[in-house]
Amino acid sequence: MIQLVRGFRDILPDEVAVWQHIEQVARDRFECFGFSEIRTPVIEQTALFQRSIGENTDIVEKEMYTFPGSRETLLTLRPEATASVVRAYIQHKLYAKDPVQKLYSIGPMFRKERPQKGRYRQFYQINAEVFGIESPYMDAHLIFMLVRFFEALDIPGLRVHLNSLGCPECRKAYREALQAAFIGKMDLLCSDCVRRMDKNPLRLLDCKVPGCREVVSDAPSMSDFLCADCSVHFQTVRAGLDAMGVSFEVDPRLVRGLDYYTRTAFEIQTDALGAQSAVAGGGRYDGLVAQLGGPSMPAVGFAIGMDRLVELVLARHPAGVRPPELFFAAMGAAAWEWSFQWANLLSEQGIRVEIDFSERSLKALMRRADRLGAKFVLIVGERELAENTASLRHMETKEQTAVPVDNLVAAVKETIRASDS
Ligand code: AMP
C-alpha cells in the first residue's frame, strides 16, 4: 500500500472540527480588529523568498521545496506567508487605494525540516499583516489581538516574549559588537554559525546547537544598542501592552528565523508542547515592502502555528464530528424509496442527516444510530407506511411520535428545531 510521505500528515474528520473552530474564531476576531482575508498561491518564484527571508537563514539554505518552472525560473512551495502577501500588496498596488491594509490569511506552508512531534513539512498557519502603520500602538494592538484570540480558544499558560531588533542603523553597531564578542570563540561554534558570522551574526542568537547556545548566553544585548527612535518605539509597545494588562517578558535573545524583522519581534510560547514551544511569532518588517520593489512602507505581522494550536485545544476539549440530527432506519424497498426522497429534501433544508441505504434489521440500524450519537431516528417500515405514518424517535428521551407521511419533511424539521430550543 502506498503510504503518505514522511513529515506530511492527514487531518482526519474527527480532528477537523477543531481546525474549523479555530479558523472561525480567527475570522470573527480578526474582522473586529479591521482585518480582511487575502488568499495567495502556494507556489511563488524562489527569488521572492531568497530576497525576503534572507540567503543566510535555515529556511532558504536548507528547507525550501524548490523545483524548475518554465523559462529557467525556479519555483518554491511557500515556506511562509508574509513574502507572498507583500508581493500581492505591491503587485496589485493595494497601497494606492489605501496605504493602510490589514490582511489575514490561512493556509499550508512547506519546509523541509527534520520531522518530529509538532514539526511537519506541511504545516498550517494563520497570518496577519498590517501595512502602512509605523506607530508602536499598532504592534501592541496586534499582540493584544493575538493574546485575546488564544484566550477565546481557552489556551492557558501562554507567555509573550518580546524584543526589539532595532532599525538597520542601530543594528549595524550591534552586528559589529556581536562579531567582536564571537571572534575569539569561533572554534566553539557550529559550522553554520562560523559561516554566517560575517554576513549575518544575528543568526547565531537563534542557533539551537548546545555549544553555540552557551557561547551566545553572554553575548551583548540589542537593547544596549537601540537608537533613540527605536528605543521610544519599543517603550511605547511595552507601555501599550501594560495599559491593556497583557503580561510579557522582554527576551533579548529573541531574533526569529527570518531576516526581514526590524524593531519589534515577538513570540508566543507555552510549556505544554515540549520542545516545540512556539505557537506564534511575528514582528515589524519596515524595510521589506521597499526591498521587494514597492514603496517605502512600514509593516508588522504575525504567524500562528495551527498544528500546535490544534494540539493545545485538543488537550482541553476532545474533538469529534458533529453527530447527525436525523438517522434513517428504513425496512423494505418501498420504505427506502420514500426515505431516499425525504433524506434528500431534509439535507437540502439544513438538517444533518445520516442514511446508508442498507438492508439491515432495525436492531442493527438502531445500534449504528446510537454509535453515531444521532439525535432522532426516523423509523419507516411497511406497517408505518400502510398507516401513512413514520415514527420519529428521540434517542435520549426514547419518546416516539407518529409523523404523517404526506407532511413528513415539514413535521420532522419542526420537531428537530423545537428540540433545539
Ligand atoms: P515562523 O514562520 O517560523 O515564524 O513560525 C510561526 C509559527 O509557525 C511557529 O511559532 C510555529 O507554531 C509554526 N511552525 C513553524 N514551522 C513549523 C513546522 N515545521 N511544523 C509545525 N508548525 C510550525
Closest-CA residue, ligand 1 atom 17, reads 119
At residue 124, the pLDDT reads: 98
Contact 227, 251 (CB under 8 A): no
pLDDT means per 10 residues in the chain (421 residues)? 96 94 97 98 97 92 95 95 98 97 98 93 98 98 97 92 94 91 89 88 87 88 94 98 97 85 95 85 97 98 97 87 94 93 96 92 96 97 93 96 95 93 77
Closest-CA residue, ligand 1 atom 3, reads 257
* Alpha carbon of 113 to ligand 1 centroid (Å): 11
Q: What is the pTM of this model?
A: 0.90
Contact 252, 222 (CB under 8 A): yes
At residue 374, the pLDDT reads: 97
CA atoms within 13 A on the CB side of 292: 29
For cell 401513512, what's the residue? 388
Please tell me if the CB atom of residue 280 comes closer than 6 angstroms to any atom of ligand 1.
yes
At residue 348, the pLDDT reads: 94
d(C-alpha 33, C-alpha 27), whole Å: 10
Percentage of residues of the chain with pLDDT beyond 70 = 100
Q: Which CATH class, in words, describes the domain spanning 326-420? A: alpha beta
* Alpha carbon of 141 to ligand 1 centroid (Å): 22
d(C-alpha 222, C-alpha 366), whole Å: 67
pLDDT in tens, 189-228: 999 899 888 888 888 888 888 898 888 888 899 999 999 9
Residue 269 vs residues 2, 147, 176, 196: alpha-carbon distances, Å: 37, 11, 30, 27
At residue 318, the pLDDT reads: 82
At residue 61, the pLDDT reads: 92
Which atom, in ligand 1's list, is nearest to the CA of 79?
2
Please tell me if the CB atom of residue 303 comes closer than 6 angstroms to any atom of ligand 1.
yes
At residue 94, the pLDDT reads: 98
CA atoms within 13 A on the CB side of 405: 18
* Alpha carbon of 243 to ligand 1 centroid (Å): 29
Please tell me if the CB atom of residue 110 comes closer than 6 angstroms to any atom of ligand 1.
no
At residue 22, the pLDDT reads: 97
Closest-CA residue, ligand 1 atom 13, reads 305
Residue 28 grid coordinates: 470573527
At residue 200, the pLDDT reads: 85
Domain boundaries, the chain: 13-167+227-316, 326-420
Please tell me if the CB atom of residue 374 comes closer than 6 angstroms to any atom of ligand 1.
no
Closest-CA residue, ligand 1 atom 14, reads 305
pLDDT in tens, 259-273: 889 999 999 999 888
At residue 329, the pLDDT reads: 97
Kindly calculate the radius of gyration of the chain based on its CA atoms and give it in whole angstroms: 28
Please tell me if the CB atom of residue 79 comes closer than 6 angstroms to any atom of ligand 1.
no
At residue 167, the pLDDT reads: 95
Nearest CA to 380 out of 402, 396, 347, 406 is that of: 402
At residue 313, the pLDDT reads: 94
* Alpha carbon of 95 to ligand 1 centroid (Å): 28
At residue 183, the pLDDT reads: 87
At residue 273, the pLDDT reads: 82
What is the four-CA torsion angle of 83, 27, 307, 12, rounded to 10 degrees? -120
Specify whether domain 13-167+227-316 bears CATH 3.30.930.10: yes
